[in-house]
Structure 1
């Protein structure tokens, strides 16, 4: 039986906007993450997909408490990360790491690559300089770089090499869970495949578990075991990757998959064009958040938020059609 490594229950992350009321209460919030729940099992890759601004990256950052969540539970190996003090959370960060979307912005331009990779080791108690330098050399070789690269700065590398450095930094403390926040979206297509293959090789080598955040659905299908589809801060569909891609249930998932290019020009796919714009997360629609754009919207969709339930074996959906 699969063992759960991470359980997210009712996660909410709201950002206050605008002025307060006469009583000093905050009146308006951007509901970036609004009641998100999912489980990630040891050794798997769980994908989180959706349009830009749907709350994918905020979900990943809230799990790691790089952004403080407003409400909900984040259970890592049974312990609620949201309830830990800063000191207790720092100790947990050995097991929880992140690969950032922009490899250049996430690397300090004033530090050499060796210093960047040494820093987490120093923070977490590896006092011996010899041991730190040995570990830096190991990390560089593991991600396909050379030991002499340790003396160079971030601007001296290509985008693909910088992302490899970001991956090496994430692996420095031998974590159990890595949040990969759109790790290949800033890279050329040819480099994307190299980085994806590297991540898969490292997953097998170090028994890693990934939360893989992306908007490129073809990349997600290649690397992920299960996937959750987000819309306006909520997960609308979740299931095993192959089942979800072959038989998408939610109208939003169907529209997303219809936009994925097919490499064979002789094949045709009916494109689903969504009408209207994504509603504001400050004032999301009542009922189902997708109903203003849904071609199958019913009266109940405008008044009642659908429950997240199992429609088929291993495939959950939040939609009144099921």
Structure 2
């Protein structure tokens, strides 16, 4: 068994909805509604789902960039949800994040050198000379040059900015990197370069990734295991090849049937889901997917399915099993 680096149990985030003149809470948006999973040391766990399913909120809660409503997050047996601000700051040396938008995640008023040096200053790492040397080393490692440290973010392309974002995440030598759709804002030709860079860095530094994306092709390329989310809940989790070859949940089957195959002679049936995604402020009773599921029965409308193991390492939340 591979050592567990991160463990998530029953994680929830319910955002209050205010209404009326007095601004009273009239309901909650259940962005994440009881998610549980583990991330093993040295692996890449991909999390996929449609926009609004709660995957980005989940990633931010792991670092407590958003405070959870309920649940438990443990990193190397330290309960992240109970740490003080000073303890959390120390822990963030080992847990870093790469954000989706490389245009918005870098301060336009700072040079690249200052942006990369800032994590070292915050954590009190190294002398000014050592920090400068580390900045130049990381720039070279991610495929840029040391002289780029004097430039500003607007002087770089989208792919180069994301490389800078990756370099910033690596500055403190973390063990876990949460990558929130790191290539979705990039051109397809640049996506593969950034993905290959991330895989090379994982081998070189022994990194563990939580890779959040909505592109199933990208996730298959980089992930060892894949979790599928729908309306704030995890509905399936398995080894990558097993999930793509033998998806169990009807939602996963529908997602995979929509992935384009670069072969004009290849034919397959596309599963068309009926209706829209329900509102997370008023989710359906029972199984959240029953309003769109072609196999739904009465029990699906009444009882929430348990997220349990069906075969070795393959978990699914569905009454069909």
Partner of 1:99: 98
Q: Which residue is equivalent to 1:297? A: 296
SS of residue paired to 1:141: helix
Give the total of aligned pairs.
321
Counterpart check, 1:4 vs 2:4: yes
- What is the CA distance between 1:21 and its match in structure 2? 12
Partner SS for 1:204: helix
C-alpha separation between the residues in 1 aligned to 2:77 and 2:302? Answer: 36
Shift of 1:297: 0.3
- Normalised to the residue count of structure 1, the TM-score between the two structures is 0.98
4+ long deviations beyond 2 Å: 18-22, 24-27
Counterpart for residue 42 of structure 2: 43
- Deviation of 1:171 after TM superposition, in Å, equals 0.1
SS in 1 for 2:243: helix
2:287 is matched with which residue?
288
Deviation at 1:26, TM superposition (A): 3.4
RMSD of aligned residue pairs (Cα, Å): 1.3
Q: Could you list the per-position Cα deviations for residues 204-250 of structure 1 after superposition, in whole angstroms to 9, with x for gaps in the alignment?
A: 00000000000000110110000100000000000000000000000
- Quote the residue 2:60 is aligned against: 61
CA distance in 1, matches of 2:43, 2:159: 24
2:312 matched residue in structure 1: 313
**2:54–2:231 contact (8 Å) kept in structure 1:** yes
Is the Cα contact below 8 Å between 2:19 and 2:25 reproduced in 1? yes
Does the CA contact (< 8 Å) of 1:10 and 1:36 recur in 2? yes
TM-score computed with the length of structure 2 as normaliser: 0.98
- 2:18–2:24 contact (8 Å) kept in structure 1: no
8 Å CA contact 1:21–1:27 kept in 2: the answer is no
Aligned partners of 2:228 and 2:252 also within 8 Å: yes
Equivalent runs, 1:1-322 vs 2, <5 Å = 1-19=1-19, 26-126=25-125, 128-322=127-321
Q: C-alpha distance in 2, partners of 1:20/1:206?
A: 53
Q: Distance in 2 between matches of 1:137 and 1:92?
A: 25
**Residue 27 of structure 1: how far off its partner (Å):** 3.7
Tell me how far apart the structure 1 counterparts of residues 309 and 289 of structure 2 sit (CA, whole Å): 19
CA–CA separation in structure 2 for the residues paired with 1:292 and 1:128: 59
CA contact (8 A) 1:12 1:69 kept: yes
The SS at the match of 1:169 is helix
- Unpaired segments ≥5 residues, structure 2: none
Deviations 1:45-75 (CA, angstroms, capped at 9, x unpaired): 0000000010010000000100111110000
